[in-house]
């Protein structure tokens, strides 16, 4: 390894500043005289978008495997498979001479209409964190870097470059940061990309708390922070805030600004040196992986097909699937011939090849006669004659396979979807075809949920095929014909209506702000708590076989938070086909100081079983599985008490429940302060013991002051009212009986509680009455 300290000493100020700004949209600035090579980065995250000419931002990239996008990846719930996918992407990076791939994206799907939701994993931070961790392990295990993005709260495309996400601390810690945290702590991404937007008033590209206090100091991130492309507004503020590398380049004025700032003392050179050191460390690490050669296109295409097959979710099936060798099949829908397999924007891959769904179907349906109708146009126009043609074909066949995809421009980086609807033409088409053909199967390609109430009753089966990557056409055929038994499970809830969704009234925000008013209640956390019915719940998906969960056990009924526990359950394949089930473990807290969601995913495992086979699945639950973030204590806390361990096949299909008892090992400081209410004093163990002597006297004084314990006079429960009054204010009613001011009395009590010097005058004695 190079002696980085020595290199930094030899660098001029200008060279340091230049290293911290891109030389081109995709490369850093090399320093030949010191043997510092350039570092090449490319998008991500479901393939490599390597442009041949690094000076070009948007040109068509070199061919690479387009894997299914993140929504599909996450629906596999298969951490090993996603690691393999990461390895394949790394091999392509090596061949295409890319040092760092710009992914994965670990943002939460706060709103289903988010334009980039197809690039993100889940509405659940645990699942998203697991996926991001596996992806990074896969890529970096092969000596190629990743860029975990977009850190943080980049949850909508509307005004994404400027919007201010207003998020309370607990929500940030429990919902929007944990996927990043898990990936940083467990997989150590080489780089993290800061988001475009502002968070609570500060651009993420200048957010010291986010980039330095939390990312570096709390989580121990050792790589470098790169700006999202164009996210830096004030280069000096961004360096101070924690952005090491500004992209894209070249930006000579920025280099000059950094040089000037160091010279005039407004930026400490030590901070610049730290950024330089972070970049150099990654740069030299990357240079240890020799680049060039080729990658195995066929193997990667096959892997893309596997991932697509594993991620597709069978939403509805009356038994028509798997297909039983129908002889006449009507194939309807233009996406049967024009595969819809990825979204628009920076993640857009130039695929090495594309499986055409129709062609792949014909291979598996070797004995069947396939007829085809386009069904709907590429745009949103209405064409009745296309529907009529499709109906004729469907009527004359045994089965109608309807390939439906969203219009291409609907799902893209840069803007959100205005609704969750298919086109009017598509809805009419589905209804018209399923009215004449009971064996209608709808296959939908989309990156995020669509609503289905207007048509879901009609078809016999519905397959969610996602943005399925370049090999997805084959994967659809695999699932339809049962070559692959569907095992995808939704990584996000499918709502019945857009208006039912958690952030509906807080989106898109106004006056530059979007307020995360739903707090920790996003996705199933919201639907559960509000008892809002959904179309398909989080974790849901059908199989061609069936499973039972029995014999749920916990390693211990009573446990200490730091020890955690293990949950085990027997999963049996009770059907006739080999298949895979996803065992999902949720935790429910019976009672907590702050409101918590009814249940939260804290563990899962995917298991393959032969017919009749049983396997025991063991899933560990640690401290964090039971903890919540307390903004008062500014830390994750646990509380003594009862929890339910819920094991199920989706968020609404809980099969087994086991009660456990947690013992907290935390010794939390008291949160009592001058404005704490009497109730808070009495609920606080230390506060209660300090206060008790006073309370007795006060009860009798209250009787004197208010005339009796109740208060028939004004028809309200005065004692309840008093309980919720700041204790200090309450003392004002008796201030003439106090030896000193209420403020001093309370400060004295607080001094005892917080372990400072004892306050002598806190106890009122009758003799003290003035
Ligand atoms: C996107 C990033 C991407 C970058 C480089 C930005 O607009 O938000 O996800 O990595 O461009 O293409």
pLDDT digits (tens, 9 = 90+) for 225-268: 999 999 999 999 999 999 999 999 999 999 999 999 999 999 99
The reply to whether ligand 1 has any atom less than 6 angstroms from the CB of 102 is: yes
The predicted-structure confidence for 601-623, as pLDDT tens digits, reads as follows 999 999 999 999 999 999 999 99
Atom 6, ligand 1: residue with shortest CA distance = 229
228 CA to centre of ligand 1 in angstroms: 6
The reply to whether ligand 1 has any atom less than 6 angstroms from the CB of 43 is: yes
Enzyme catalytic residues: 228
Atom 4, ligand 1: residue with shortest CA distance = 229
Atom 5, ligand 1: residue with shortest CA distance = 229
Task: Give the count of beta carbons closer than 10 Å to the beta carbon of residue 697.
Answer: 15
First to last CA, the chain: 78
From the CA of 25, give the closest atom in ligand 1: 5
Collapsing DSSP states into helix, strand and coil, what is residue 618?
strand
The H or E element containing residue 147 is: strand 145-151
DSSP assignment of 77-93 equals T-HHHHHHHHHHHHHHH
Distance CA(368)–CA(386), nearest Å, equals: 23
29 CA to centre of ligand 1 in angstroms: 19
The reply to whether ligand 1 has any atom less than 6 angstroms from the CB of 229 is: yes
The reply to whether ligand 1 has any atom less than 6 angstroms from the CB of 149 is: yes
Rounded to the nearest 5°, which phi and psi values hold at 757?
-65, 145
164 CA to centre of ligand 1 in angstroms: 19
Atom 3, ligand 1: residue with shortest CA distance = 346
pLDDT at 1: 66
- The pick from 43, 154, 189 for probing ligand 1's pocket by mutation, whose C-beta has the most ligand atoms within 8 angstroms, reads 43
- What are the beta bridge partners of residue 42? 101
Distance CA(669)–CA(727), nearest Å, equals: 19
The reply to whether ligand 1 has any atom less than 6 angstroms from the CB of 207 is: no
Distance CA(429)–CA(389), nearest Å, equals: 10
390 CA to centre of ligand 1 in angstroms: 40
pLDDT at 410: 85
119 CA to centre of ligand 1 in angstroms: 11
pLDDT at 760: 41
The reply to whether ligand 1 has any atom less than 6 angstroms from the CB of 160 is: no
pLDDT at 711: 54
44 CA to centre of ligand 1 in angstroms: 9
pLDDT at 765: 42
623 — alpha (psi -120 to 50), left (phi > 0) or beta? Answer: alpha
From the CA of 149, give the closest atom in ligand 1: 9
pLDDT at 266: 98
Q: Nearest CA to 46 among 166, 110, 132?
A: 132
The reply to whether ligand 1 has any atom less than 6 angstroms from the CB of 439 is: no
Atom 7, ligand 1: residue with shortest CA distance = 229
Q: Which two tokens stand for residue 492?
A: 């996000």
165 CA to centre of ligand 1 in angstroms: 19
Atom 11, ligand 1: residue with shortest CA distance = 229
| Pairing verdict, β 313-317 and 461-464 | antiparallel
Q: Nearest CA to 150 among 205, 223, 88, 222?
A: 205
Q: Which residues of the chain have pLDDT under 50?
A: 757-770
Atom 12, ligand 1: residue with shortest CA distance = 346
From the CA of 103, give the closest atom in ligand 1: 10
The reply to whether ligand 1 has any atom less than 6 angstroms from the CB of 124 is: no
């Amino acid at each position: 390894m190079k002696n980085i300290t020595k290199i930094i000493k030899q660098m001029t100020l200008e060279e340091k500043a230049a290293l911290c700004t891109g030389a081109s949209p995709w490369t850093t600035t090399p320093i030949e005289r010191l043997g510092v090579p350039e570092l090449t980065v490319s998008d991500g995250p479901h393939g490599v978008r390597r442009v041949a000419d690094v000076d070009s931002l948007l040109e068509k990239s070199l061919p690479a495997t387009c894997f299914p996008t993140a929504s599909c990846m996450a629906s596999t719930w298969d951490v090993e498979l996603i690691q393999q996918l990461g390895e394949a992407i790394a091999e392509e990076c090596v061949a295409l001479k890319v040092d760092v791939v710009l992914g994965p994206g670990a943002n939460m799907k706060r709103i289903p209409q988010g334009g980039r939701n197809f690039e993100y994993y889940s509405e659940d931070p645990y699942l998203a964190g697991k996926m991001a961790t596996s992806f990074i392990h896969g890529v970096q295990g092969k000596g190629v870097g990743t860029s975990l993005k977009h850190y943080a709260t980049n949850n909508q495309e509307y005004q994404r470059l400027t919007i201010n996400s207003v998020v309370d601390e607990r929500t940030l810690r429990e919902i929007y940061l944990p996927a990043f945290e898990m990936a940083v702590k467990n997989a150590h991404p080489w780089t993290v990309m800061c988001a475009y937007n502002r968070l609570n008033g500060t651009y993420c590209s200048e957010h010291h708390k986010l980039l330095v206090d939390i990312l570096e100091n709390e989580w121990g991130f050792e790589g470098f922070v790169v700006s999202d492309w164009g996210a830096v507004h004030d280069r000096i503020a961004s360096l101070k805030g924690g952005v090491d590398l500004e992209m894209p380049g070249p930006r000579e004025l920025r280099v000059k600004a950094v040089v000037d700032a160091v010279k005039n003392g407004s930026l400490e050179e030590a901070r610049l040196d730290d950024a330089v050191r972070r970049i150099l460390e990654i740069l030299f690490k990357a240079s240890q992986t020799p680049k060039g050669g080729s990658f195995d296109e066929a193997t990667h295409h096959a892997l893309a097909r596997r991932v697509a097959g594993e991620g597709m979710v069978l939403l509805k099936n009356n038994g028509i699937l798997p297909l039983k060798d129908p002889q006449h099949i009507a194939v309807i829908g233009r996406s049967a011939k024009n595969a819809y397999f990825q979204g628009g924007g920076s993640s857009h891959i130039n695929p090495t090849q594309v499986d055409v769904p129709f062609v792949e179907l014909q291979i598996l349906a070797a004995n069947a006669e396939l007829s085809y109708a386009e069904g709907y146009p590429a745009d949103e126009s209405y064409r009745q004659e296309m529907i009529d043609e499709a109906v004729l074909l469907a009527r004359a066949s045994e089965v109608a396979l309807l390939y439906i995809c969203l219009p291409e421009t609907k799902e893209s980086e840069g803007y959100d979807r205005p609704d969750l609807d298919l086109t009017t033409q598509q809805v009419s088409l589905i209804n018209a075809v399923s009215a004449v053909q009971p064996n209608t199967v709808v296959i939908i390609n989309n990156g995020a949920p669509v609503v289905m109430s207007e048509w879901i009753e009609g078809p016999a089966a519905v397959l969610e095929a996602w943005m399925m990557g370049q090999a997805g056409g084959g994967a659809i055929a695999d699932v339809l014909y049962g070559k692959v038994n569907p095992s995808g499970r939704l990584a996000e809830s499918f709502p019945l209506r857009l208006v039912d969704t958690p952030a509906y009234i807080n989106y898109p925000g106004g006056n530059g702000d979007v307020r995360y008013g739903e707090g920790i209640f996003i996705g199933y956390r919201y639907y559960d708590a509000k008892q809002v019915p959904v179309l398909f719940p989080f974790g849901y998906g059908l199989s061609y076989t069936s499973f039972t969960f029995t014999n749920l056990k916990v390693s211990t009924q009573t446990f200490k938070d730091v020890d955690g526990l293990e949950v085990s359950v027997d999963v049996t394949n009770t059907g006739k086909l080999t298949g895979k089930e996803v065992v999902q473990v949720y935790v429910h807290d019976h009672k907590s100081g702050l409101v918590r969601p009814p249940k939260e995913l804290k563990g899962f495992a995917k298991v393959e079983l032969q017919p009749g086979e049983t396997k025991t699945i063991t899933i560990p639950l640690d401290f964090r599985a039971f903890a919540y973030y307390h903004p008062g204590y500014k830390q994750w806390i646990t509380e003594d008490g009862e929890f339910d361990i819920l094991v199920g096949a989706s968020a609404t299909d809980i099969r087994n429940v086991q009660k456990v008892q947690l013992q907290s090992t935390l010794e939390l400081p008291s949160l009592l302060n001058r404005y704490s209410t009497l109730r808070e004093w009495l609920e606080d163990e230390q506060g209660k013991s300090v206060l008790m002597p006073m309370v007795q006297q006060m009860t009798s004084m209250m009787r004197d002051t208010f005339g009796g314990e109740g208060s028939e006079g004004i028809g309200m429960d005065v004692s309840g009212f008093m309980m919720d009054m700041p204790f200090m204010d309450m003392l004002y009613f008796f201030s003439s009986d106090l030896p000193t001011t209420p403020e001093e009395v309370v400060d004295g009590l607080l001094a005892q509680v917080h372990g400072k010097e004892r306050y002598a005058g806190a106890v009122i004695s009758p003799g003290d009455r003035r």
